[in-house]
Structure 1
Amino acid sequence: MDRVSELAKTKAAVIFTKSSCCMCHSIKTLFYDLGSSPAIFELDRDPRGKEMDRALQKLGCNPTVPAVFIGGNYVGSAKDVLGAHLNGSLRDMLLEAKAIWF
């Protein structure tokens, strides 16, 4: 759990993913399209990935990926992030965390 918390604070935007997950790819693309360069942690390629996957489950991430953190705070999964994008609050969160500039 500590490792996930530490990694979630490494950059203004952090996404925990799995390389084979199409929704993870979509969320990463969305962030890049918005001008953000998030830290990406692919659980299936990390030696401690299974441990981090269990920690994300304990945090309430269901499904565990993609798990998006902005400004060190858990935003949610793909559904939550897409909803925030549609209502305009995702951009605001990224601006406030200094993950994008305009």
Structure 2
Amino acid sequence: MNDNSKVLVALLAGVAAGAALGILFAPERGTETRDKLNDALKNLGDTIKDRAAEEIDNLSSLKEKIVENIKTTLGAAEDAADQAKTSATEPA
């Protein structure tokens, strides 16, 4: 987990804890408080899911770039090996 992800997780946890405490100490009825807390937690869950989906997309793109880079490098190495083989077998 990189530093940005750690900061984001800590920030989201802090926001959730602050929202929960604010709602719990608000002068409202218990059902209203529970409903607000439930909504806040759903929103937090949605935010986490969205962020996770973004990170999965980023990782998928990175994987594709790495695979393409490896294929390109292997192709160039094969071409160089073929050229060296051809040069070595040709009469001088």
Calculate the TM-score normalised by the size of structure 2. Answer: 0.28
Bigger relative contact order (CA 8 A; separation at least 6): 1
Calculate the TM-score normalised by the size of structure 1. Answer: 0.26
Whose strand proportion is higher, 1 or 2?
1
Bigger Rg, which one: 2
